[in-house]
Structure 1
Amino acid sequence: MQLQKAQRHQVKLRIGLSGPSGFGKTYSALLLAYGITNDWNKIALIDTENKSASLYSHLGEFNVLSLDEPFSPERYLEAIKLCENSDIELIIIDSISHEWQGKGGCLEIHEQLGGRFQDWAKVTPRHNTFIDAIILSKCHLITTSRSKVDYSLDKDGNGKTKVMKLGTKAITREGFEYELTVNFEFLNDKHLVQASKDRTELFSGKPEFIINSSTGKKLIDWCNQGISLDKIKAEIENCETSDNLKLIYNQYPHLSKELYPLIVARKETIDNPANQIIPNEQIIQQPNTQENEFSIK
């Protein structure tokens, strides 16, 4: 346990776009993605919306992966992994709502198991694995989600029950928004958005606006202001003790997935220095009258 000075690190962006169908989520996600990467070839769109991404092929040569039903968490995981292994910098998942409420999604899986409360014990871990894949991905990631009007039953001052409109609610499991760097909520079919969550403080409290590529440029500039992953890797390489490696690992918990193999490899080198690769110039052949072996200087 150790107190440390607060500092921001370079992390991968996790951006959400939520709104009803037809409000411009896919188009806005693509403009955001281009602003972040400045290269259409580095963008992959996982399309669950009946190949709607093809409507925007005129924007640039981005990559598309069409995902059809069943929309189980595992199929989303497979799609994300395929994109990660294809030299992609940014993944758009359009949309994540099918993983929750689509054919073969979590709600249907729960119903098929019996629909009982205890059946969530089998569904929740599968959904959480999907969320972890988004959070821990080595790529920047933009998700879109459909939204619906949310209501509640309340009593007025006279004790009469009234239906109250609470606003819109994204069609995914409650709490997903808290995992995001920024979440943009579409206000109308004119593509106006506002930030319902904003860790960057670039958009919170600002008037509604229309997303374009400059929005993505602002986000990537903000992202690049922190301590880089390359600098952390250099810290690991320069470590001389296992205790210091542990300190570095604990200092960056949000990067545990990326740093763990580097920590393990460096620890192996520290614990077993004899296994280090010896540069060729340090290997000198010397005569040995008995065994004629090589010796290491």
Structure 2
Amino acid sequence: MTVFFKKAERKNAKLRLALAGPTGAGKTLGALLIAKGMGGKVAVVDTENSSAELYADVMDFDSANLQPPYSPDKFIAAIQAAENAGYTTVILDSITHEWSGVGGCLEMVDALGKGKFKGNTWGAWSEITPKHRKFIDAMLHSSINVIVTMRSKMDTVQVDAGGGKKKVEKLGLKSEQRDGIEYEFTTVLDITHGDNYAVATKDRTGLFIQPEQITEQTGVKLAQWLSSGSADSTINGNQFLELEQLMTEAGIDIDKYCAKRKLNSLQDVRQQVFEETCASIRRIIEQKAQANQQSEQQLQNEHEALLESEYQKALQAIQSAQAAADLQYPAEYFKGTKYEQTILNACQAKSDMEGWSA
């Protein structure tokens, strides 16, 4: 194995922050307070019927109301509009709608599955997953700070309570978005209902070791971390080799991948997105493996159905055979199949009945 060494470097980064919590936990207010502490022009993409405007007294910000259908393309367009307008931070409130809202990914899959793909939801996902991935990429590679909110609900599971009884145990809050969405952000904060405390479920900044209430100071310290230089160093040689191997296995065109993200090479991939990038590629590999397995199973089923059909035809042909020579083809055709012995028995019975055996 070749090991690469390169000069250590320090760069600055843009914020990729997710605030998750149940309805009424204070996600929108928390996002605004953080954006205020970070400074600059703030844009809010509001999917909650202008609810963000209730906090217009907290800070100056511009708002755009996003209406259904909440397709990934609409969120991508909103991010690009905020970038083009020169905003420092864009708040997407909330990206739950992109997943489970009216016209979101789940509804798009349902519609395609019932229509174009005739009940095959796997086929529908093959069209919708790339659209969702483009939305994720638009956030990750945005030139401005991105803060998102996500609704969450209590996740529960039934466990054995003994004596043949079951009981429900709470596992914690689960975001209403695609599984694994937390891997896409630098920091994910769960906001508790009632006391509005933020608890880090993922944090690459090291700033949220203890739960805390979100204030403007939260944004201030995030801005300081982002500009400290340590936030955006690039991957090392071993990570480069790991990423290259994964991309090759996934069938990703590395040159196109780098060109799309304005990278000179994979060595320019940032440390802070390395784990998330690898996790995303592994999901692609798993999905391809599942698709191949499903395709092989479908071919096997089709082969079995064809063989069964030919078997039924062969039985009829044996019954109507006019000479012993007519029995040679079915006997040869089914050699080595599960129907071989049955066909041979049928041929022998026909020969005995017609007196051909002698």
TM-score, normalised via structure 2 length: 0.61
Aligned equivalents of 1:152 and 1:16: distance in 2?
25
- From 5, 8, 12, give the equivalent of 2:14: 12
Gaps of 5+ in 1: 230-245, 256-297
Q: Structure 1 residues 159 and 9 mapped into 2: Cα distance closer, same or farther (>3 Å)?
A: farther
Map of 2:23 onto structure 1: 21
Matched, 1:183 2:188: yes
Over aligned residue pairs, what C-alpha RMSD do you find?
A: 2.2
Higher relative contact order (CA 8 A, sep 6+): 1
SS in 2 for 1:142: strand
Map of 1:34 onto structure 2: 36
Matched, 1:150 2:149: no
Map of 2:171 onto structure 1: 166
Higher helix share: 2
Aligned equivalents of 2:231 and 2:8: distance in 1?
15
Aligned equivalents of 2:184 and 2:173: distance in 1?
19
- From 214, 218, 224, give the equivalent of 1:211: 214
Aligned equivalents of 1:6 and 1:170: distance in 2?
36
Shift of 1:211: 0.3
- From 214, 223, 232, give the equivalent of 1:220: 223
Q: Structure 1 residues 202 and 75 mapped into 2: Cα distance closer, same or farther (>3 Å)?
A: same
SS in 1 for 2:57: helix
User: Which amino acid in 2 is paired with 1:17?
Assistant: L
Map of 2:254 onto structure 1: none
| Counterparts of residues 35-74 of structure 1 (less than 5 Å) | 35-37=37-39, 39=40, 42-74=41-73
Gaps of 5+ in 2: 114-118, 233-261, 272-358
TM-score, normalised via structure 1 length: 0.74
SS in 2 for 1:58: coil
Shift of 1:154: 2.4
Q: Percent identity?
A: 43
Matched, 1:118 2:123: yes
Q: How many residues are paired up?
A: 234
Aligned equivalents of 2:126 and 2:151: distance in 1?
26
User: Which amino acid in 2 is paired with 1:218?
Assistant: K
Matched, 1:252 2:268: yes
Shift of 1:31: 0.5
Map of 1:268 onto structure 2: none
Q: Structure 1 residues 124 and 131 mapped into 2: Cα distance closer, same or farther (>3 Å)?
A: same
Deviation track 1:33-57 (CA, whole Å, cap 9, x = no partner) reads 01112x3xx1000000110011011
Contact 2:19 2:149 in 1 (8 A): yes
Map of 1:197 onto structure 2: 202
User: Which amino acid in 1 is paired with 2:154?
Assistant: V
SS in 2 for 1:59: coil
